């Protein structure tokens, strides 16, 4: 297993300091960069672990802290944090994280990958709309997708993962999203995992489904390695 190093970082986010968790291989070689966007729980141990997984796979991964030091362990707390999050400021934090990650000397190429989960999956798509620096995007169970007309702005290649048993995201919505991507000529693959509920990737929750999580992880890695090579 590759040695990695981690640190908490701050970066400019349109006049307000952004915060994040950076994980990278413990060497001076160039590596592709990936933004890891939190679930509604916040920048918790699971999201930090995902960043470390990317580092062990040869990426420099930055997980922005969109709650600025707060995180939740119970759904009611998470719901409150998510509802109180200023989405406009969150997008500024994400744009700042993109600029910060690109500026790290070891990050090459300067096109980035982005992966996010639940709320973070929706923000992954929003960031792909907003930033041409995102070349590959892997939104997991993104309940909110951009309006169809905004999909044409996405330059990133997409792998989108959903659970067939996700009570919060109707399959009809997933299929409409898939159709809209195709109609706008986006390079995208949408995969629905049988028997998988919402948040099937999170191995700290009862919703975890190992087989679906492993396949979605491998699909995301393959996308990032190919596009960011």
Please write the tens of the pLDDT for every residue from 144-172.
999 988 998 999 999 999 999 999 999 99
Q: What is the mean pLDDT of the chain?
A: 95
Give the 3-state secondary structure of residue 75: helix
Kindly report the CATH class assigned to 4-227.
alpha beta
Among 44, 65, 133, 166, the active-site one is 166
The model's pLDDT over 82-128, given as tens digits with 9 standing for 90+, comes to: 999 999 999 999 999 999 999 999 999 999 999 999 999 999 999 99
Among 172, 198, 203, 215, the active-site one is 198
Closest listed residue to residue 218, CA positions, set 8, 5, 26, 57 = 57
Least confident among 47-51, 62-66, 116-120, 142-146: 142-146
Among 118, 165, 194, 215, the active-site one is 118
28 is catalytic: no
> How would residue 34 be classed by pLDDT, with cut points 50, 70 and 90?
very high
Closest listed residue to residue 139, CA positions, set 57, 76, 223, 70 = 223
46 is catalytic: no
**Which residue shows structure tokens 């362990």?**
73
Q: What is the pTM of this model?
A: 0.97
Q: Domain locations in the chain? A: 4-227
Q: Give the separation between CA 157 and CA 117, rounded to whole angstroms.
A: 17
198 is catalytic: yes
Q: Give the pLDDT score at 149.
A: 86
Buried b (16+ CB within 10 A) or exposed e, 99-113: ebbeebeebeeebbb
Least confident among 73-77, 144-148, 155-159, 193-197: 144-148
């Amino acid at each position: 297993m590759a040695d990695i190093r981690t640190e908490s970082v701050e970066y400019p986010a349109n006049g307000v300091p952004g915060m994040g968790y950076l994980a990278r291989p413990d060497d001076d070689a160039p590596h592709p960069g990936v933004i890891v966007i939190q679930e509604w729980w916040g920048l918790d141990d699971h999201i930090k672990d995902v960043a470390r997984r990317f580092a062990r796979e040869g990426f420099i991964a930055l997980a922005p802290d969109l709650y600025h030091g707060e995180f939740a362990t119970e759904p009611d707390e998470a719901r409150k944090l998510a509802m109180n999050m200023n989405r406009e400021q969150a997008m500024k934090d994400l744009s700042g994280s993109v600029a910060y990650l690109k500026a790290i000397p070891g990050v090459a190429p300067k096109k980035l990958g982005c992966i996010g989960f639940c709320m973070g999956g929706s923000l992954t798509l929003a960031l792909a709309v907003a930033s041409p620096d995102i070349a590959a995007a892997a939104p997991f169970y993104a309940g909110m997708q951009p309006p169809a007309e905004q999909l044409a702005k996405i330059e990133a290649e997409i792998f989108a993962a959903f659970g067939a048993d996700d009570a919060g995201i109707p399959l009809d919505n997933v299929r409409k999203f898939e159709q809209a991507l195709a109609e706008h000529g986006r390079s995208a693959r949408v995969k629905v995992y049988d028997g998988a509920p919402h948040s099937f990737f999170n191995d700290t929750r009862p919703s975890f489904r190992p087989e679906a999580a492993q396949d979605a992880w491998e699909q995301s890695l393959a996308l990032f390695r190919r596009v960011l090579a």
